[in-house]
Every structure is written in structure tokens, then in C-alpha cells.
Amino acid sequence: MNTNLITIGKIVAPHGVRGDVRVIALTDFPERFQTMKQVLLDNGQKLDISGVKYHKQDVLMKFRGLDDRNAVEALKGKLLQVTKEELVDLPEGHYYTFDIIGLAVYDEDGQPLGTITDVITTGSNDVYVAEVAGKTPVLIPALKDVVKNIDLPNKRMTVKLQEEWE
């Protein structure tokens, strides 16, 4: 598995008889497909995109040179991927989940609290799970009052502990 590739969609079925495929978008930015020229499949194959339409919740894609249902049948279940350099730029203070997982977490006094192993998506805000072997995981709400600094180059997060955690 190439960790420099990020999955943005999954081909779920052929659509019609002219070689279109139905794609479930696995990205917060489904409009990104409209401007893409090519995509990588999870098997390393590169496909040129010749058309994109939207239908209900799905993205309909057409690939150059695949002009009938039989030609795209084998693509069913394949993941569509892009390199990290091709990701949509996020606003300042927002991060991709893969950037957060693996960060070392410290309190404001520099005491280590663990390493982020998971991000839980809730209705209001994400929750970061920091773990240290043999200890109960620390749940950190992804709020500005709690997360004081995220330093991606140094793979470090600084948090302000709430009183009930201390």
C-alpha cells in the first residue's frame, strides 16, 4: 500500500452502455472530480478522465479509451487515488486525518500524553484518541480551547488539559 496515495472515490458499478462508471466520492470535496484530468487506481493503473457528471449522490465518470460497459466492468470495486500533492488545500487551522494520526501529544508543561492513533468524528467536533501502551487512552476534543498547537513538521501537538483530566 502506497502511503503517499489518498483514496478519493470508489468505482461501484458501470453506468449505462457507453463506458461510464458510477463512483462513490470518498472526499469532502466531490467537486474536485470536475477539474481532474487523470486518476490512479489502487492497482497502479493511470486512467485519463474524459468526462464527469453528477447524478444524485454519485459521480459519473468516463475514461478515455473505455467506451462500453464491458470495458469498465473490471473496474468495479477499484479505488480512485491521488497523490498528497494533488489534495485540495485546506483552510488554515484545518488538517487531514492522516496528518493528525501519529502526532505525539504533549500538555502545556511539555509532559507526553501519548500518540494520536485515531480520530473520532462526532456530530459537533472531532475527538483525537491519544494512546500510551498500558494506559487508558486520552480523548482530546478537537477544539481551539483544548488543542493549542499543531506542529506538522515536528509531528507534535500541544493541548491544554481540562481539569477533570488532571
* 42-62 per-position pLDDT tens digit: 998 999 999 999 988 889 999
CATH topology of domain 5-86: Elongation Factor Tu (Ef-tu); domain 3 (2.40.30)
Residue 165 has pLDDT above 70, yes or no: no
Q: Where are the domains of the chain?
A: 5-86, 97-165
Is the model more confident about 28 or about 44?
A: 44
Q: How far apart are CA 64 and CA 5, in angstroms?
A: 22
Region 14-36: mean pLDDT is: 91
**What is the predicted pLDDT for the residue at 85?**
83
**What is the predicted pLDDT for the residue at 3?**
62
Q: How far apart are CA 102 and CA 161, in angstroms?
A: 19
- What type of residue is 17? V
Q: Which among 92, 112, 90 is positioned nearest to 103, based on CA atoms?
A: 112
**What is the predicted pLDDT for the residue at 74?**
92
Residue 95 has pLDDT above 60, yes or no: yes
Q: How far apart are CA 156 and CA 138, in angstroms?
A: 16
Region 114-120: mean pLDDT is: 94
Superfamily of domain covering 97-165 = PRC-barrel domain (2.30.30.240)
